[in-house]
Structure 1
Amino acid sequence: MSQQENTNGGLVLAASPRAKRELGISNVTRRRDVPNDPRLIIVEPRMNHYIAMNKRVNDIFRQYVSEEDLHLYSIDESILDITPNWNYLKYKFGQDLTMTKLARIIQLHVKRELGIYLTVGIGESNSMAKMALDIEAKHAKSLIGEWSYETIPDKLWPITDFDEVWSIGRKTSAKLKYFGIYSMGQLANTDPTFLKSKFGIRGEELFALSWGVDRSVVANKYHVKSSNISNSQVLPRDYFEVNEIKNVIREIGEQVSSRLRSKGKQAGVVSLYVGFAYASVKEDGNSGFHAQLSIDSTNSSGSIVKALHYIFDTHYRGQVVRNLGVSAAKLVEGGQEQLDLLKDPIKQIKERDLDDTVDKIRNKYGVTSIVKLSSLGDGGTMIDRAGLVGGHNGGNAYG
């Protein structure tokens, strides 16, 4: 359970199957709604520990598939393409090996070495395996669910709650119902031409999903052609003061700039997201703003923060703020930087050297080894967030 102040007392980030089944607890349940039951054990997130355990679990998976046939889907889910190694696995474990038997072998292997119970979804495609995991395996006594194209009509088509189905979100669900489609079976028997006309390429994907069709291959890794570097955070409280808001924007901007330098990149566009607090949203219905600005390619903290403050000053109208996000895009290789003709070149060089020096100190001694005085006050969040991983408590890493 998250213990951060910005979650208003805490949220359930993950609940055991037994807690869900017997006590009705689900992910994102608020602390005030968690029953006072002596059987419950509530612990804070330990993201460093989770990451370490994720690595150990996937190291076991690598004993069954090659690296290119393993996809790390999330902190607690991986996709294994068994097909290329199937003949070897049958040679190792016996010619009567089945996918369910192999799943059980891997389950016992992980339980024996790490004490963790695995839930396994088996399917003839990646999306089918994911749906088998979410819809069947998590509720099965064996924690294994196996689907095939032949069983799709029996296991997938009866589902009317689209939220249960991987990749179908709330908006898509509402749109499907608007067009009179209330089950996965109806979706499977809808004219794909109609779906494409209403949903675009997403319509074809939905039709394929309803039949369990997914032509992606784990070994064919997707490589992002155009990337960006971003950071965002939910503030620990509502921010009313302009100087406090701009101070946190400065902190996030400097963090993004440091990440750019560490990757040897420069950004040609910076963008700022400002999300308003509930009170402001309720008052005028405006949830926030997102704007970007083209700049001369740079990774200078001063230049990027200056651009972000300009965006903020241009669009901010006194609302109460609760969310902030910064992104740097149109990345190019670093190494050269255009000096500003209107600024002292010596000063610009010194600023760049200062950024590099601060980076080196923080890399060696930690992020909080050197901080600006404003981060100690004026609503600064840098120090409090230094120990977080993915926005949650890092905890202790275990080897």
Structure 2
Amino acid sequence: MNPQPVYALIDCNSFYASCERVFRPDLLRTPIVVLSNNDGCIIARSAEAKQWVKMGQPYYQVKDLLRRHGVVAFSSNYALYGDMSQRVMAVIEGMVPALEVYSIDEAFADLTGVPGDLDYLGRCIRERVLKHTGIPVGVGIAGTKTLAKLANHAAKRWAVHSGGVVDLRIASQCEWVLKKCDVSEVWGIGKRLTAHLQGMGIRSAWDLSRADPGLLRKTFSVVVEKTARELGGTPCLQLQDIDPPRQEICCSRMFGKRLTELAPIKEAVATYVMRASEKLRSQRSLASKMRVSIRTGMFNPDEAKYANGVVVQLPYPTDDVRLLTRMALEAVGRIYRQGFRYSKAEVLLLELCQRGQFTGDLFAPSQTVQAERVMGVIDGVNARWGRGTLRSAAVPAAAEWAMRRELMSAGFTTQMAGLWRVNR
């Protein structure tokens, strides 16, 4: 007889803020917020900062308020957050049979058939992750992924009593949590669905777990039906061992300031091509087409508006940043028009395929072995010494058009210059 499925959801607490605190222990009890691109709005808050600011608020509107209450703001340091995420996941992966990384700060673990006290295992995971990375996590354990997600929510909501670990395989404890949690707190139930469900008298997670699955499917979708069944203890979602390769890869950024000349726009496009090609090679894919687009700001009534893009057919499926950059720069030159103040550029790699999964014309050109070796050297050097150590000549070391990140912390784990120095 097969054992009953058991899942754990391990989620980092206030992940972006926690990453900043690892290297700023003086901020352990200080409220922290992290800002979006160009220091635009609040995208992450520590628990202490939630009373002062809401998610999504523009930073310029609350800057003075935050300063008065001692809230420290950081520009988003995505390289640091990504590296810390990999460290956290590596620690967890060494403690569980299988792991599905769900997002940058959370992962599902399959604990089916694991002997012993799983509550104790959850506490060991918390302790080891904190010791090895400095990142606090919460652990939710249950017989389905949706319940594990809710258990994790309960572990954080009632952290004083739970110690950061909640196991909902105990029927009485599961019922108590389901009744205490609003339906809006269930994984996958957004604001619009919440309003519809409340109109049907479904106000708590417990109500949803007891609703008629057939009616839910007919009224909403099979996704809502599966959610209700999972809350009732019936597993409908399996652990995904490997994420499928993405079918499109996009790199798009707002400029730090409006651009009017072609040269800096070309620099930006070359930079985005570099980043997109890194993502392409990381999943061992090749691109057959590429779309390059630029646009002005669309919301200022006093500015002339213009947006245009062009799809480029590549000569053969490739991941060679040199070829991609050359063709992207030719493309942006065709769509650029003088007299406009440009705010954004985008590079989109299309018609992706894996090596060995396409059959080309016998006499058509193809990417050379030498090109693949060059790309391997570039990726190897950048992985060891930091992104941008080796880059295309069209990519500047520092650019005036780069997005504003005036409050960004150092690259403590991603750049040699950001390493801690210990004075004797």
> Aligned AA for 2:412?
N
> Aligned AA for 1:84?
G
Does the CA-based 8 Å contact 1:265-1:332 persist in structure 2? yes
1:150, distance to aligned residue in structure 2 (A): 5.0
1:6, distance to aligned residue in structure 2 (A): 1.2
Q: Partner residue of 1:333? A: 355
Q: 2:251 aligns with which of 231, 236, 241?
A: 231
Deviations 1:155-196 (A, max 9, x none): 23554462x332223454456567775554554454433433
Name stretches of at least 5 consecutive residues in structure 2 with no aligned partner: 1-32, 414-418
| 1:215 equivalent in alignment to 2:247 | no
Q: Partner residue of 2:147? A: 128
Q: Partner residue of 1:201? A: 222
| 1:269 equivalent in alignment to 2:286 | no
| 1:73 equivalent in alignment to 2:102 | yes
In 1, distance between residues paired with 2:81 and 2:199?
A: 41
Deviations 1:195-245 (A, max 9, x none): 333444323333334435433444x51451664443233332345667655
1:358, distance to aligned residue in structure 2 (A): 8.1
Q: Partner residue of 1:249? A: 269
Q: Partner residue of 1:93? A: none
Name stretches of at least 5 consecutive residues in structure 1 with no aligned partner: 91-96
In 1, distance between residues paired with 2:232 and 2:168?
A: 11
TM (normalized to structure 2)? 0.63
In 2, distance between residues paired with 1:210 and 1:276?
A: 47
| 1:166 equivalent in alignment to 2:166 | no
Bigger CA drift: 128-137 or 231-240?
231-240
| 1:11 equivalent in alignment to 2:27 | no
Question: SS at the partner of 1:145?
Answer: strand
1:326, distance to aligned residue in structure 2 (A): 1.9
CA RMSD of aligned residues (A): 5.2
Deviations 1:1-48 (A, max 9, x none): 44676123x635341x3443xx44455555452533566455565555
TM (normalized to structure 1)? 0.66
> Aligned AA for 1:324?
E
> Aligned AA for 1:230?
C
Q: Partner residue of 2:6? A: none
The alpha-carbon distance between structure 1 residues 373 and 268, as it changes in their structure 2 partners (threshold 3 A), is closer
Does the CA-based 8 Å contact 1:47-1:393 persist in structure 2? no
In 1, distance between residues paired with 2:360 and 2:299?
A: 43
Q: Partner residue of 1:396? A: 412
In 2, distance between residues paired with 1:330 and 1:293?
A: 14
Q: Partner residue of 1:367? A: 388
In 1, distance between residues paired with 2:399 and 2:135?
A: 44
Deviations 1:86-111 (A, max 9, x none): 1xxx3xxxxxx4x4344334434445
The alpha-carbon distance between structure 1 residues 123 and 275, as it changes in their structure 2 partners (threshold 3 A), is farther
Does the CA-based 8 Å contact 2:247-2:351 persist in structure 1? yes
Q: How many equivalent residue pairs?
A: 367
Q: 1:35 aligns with which of 51, 58, 66?
A: 66
- Fraction of identical pairs, as percent: 18
In 2, distance between residues paired with 1:5 and 1:126?
A: 32
Does the CA-based 8 Å contact 2:35-2:43 persist in structure 1? no
Question: SS at the partner of 1:279?
Answer: coil
Does the CA-based 8 Å contact 1:292-1:311 persist in structure 2? no
The alpha-carbon distance between structure 1 residues 130 and 196, as it changes in their structure 2 partners (threshold 3 A), is same
> Aligned AA for 1:396?
F
